Amino acid sequence: MRLTTLVLGAAIALSMATTTAAVAKPHLRDTPIDDGLLALGLADEIRNACPSISARMIRALGYLNGLKSQAHALGYTDAEIDAYRKSDTEKARLKKRGKAYLAANGVVVGQPETYCALGRNEIEKSSQIGSLLRVN
């Protein structure tokens, strides 16, 4: 009887812990991973618009893999990560955040020198965006 009670209690506790973990897991947009993806996107935007700045591709790849590892550590599956990454809604939301960041930092679409100035500033202050870029 005691063993059955103990096993039943452990099963209930495990079930509750699993349920609590599933409920407690925030949406990926509410984790630091979202900011990491934004940094990657902004670095890519800057390097594409500014001819004197290029990407640190190996560092960017390592950073992206690190974000995926962080997501796994938070309990996300590859399927959940891919769904988030491929979501048109999330892409549009990140693009809107990116445009706001660029505008707030003096970037004017069609003026490469403004992207270059932002890129150099990000590199100089050793921000996450700057760590993904280098001056040619």
pLDDT in tens, 29-79: 999 999 999 999 999 999 999 999 999 999 999 999 999 999 999 999 999
Torsion of CA 92, 96, 98, 102, to 10 degrees: 150
Percent with pLDDT over 90 in the chain: 81
The residue segments making up the domain with residue 109 are 26-135
85 in any annotated domain: yes
Taking each continuous run of H as one helix and of E as one strand, the counts in the chain are 7, 2
51 in any annotated domain: yes
19 in any annotated domain: no
99 in any annotated domain: yes
Q: Which helix (H) or strand (E) holds 54?
A: strand 53-55
Distance CA 132, CA 12 (A): 47
According to DSSP, residue 72 is labeled: H
Looking at residue 23, its pLDDT comes to: 60
pLDDT in tens, 86-105: 999 999 999 999 999 999 99
**Count of structural domains, the chain:** 1
Distance CA 75, CA 26 (A): 10
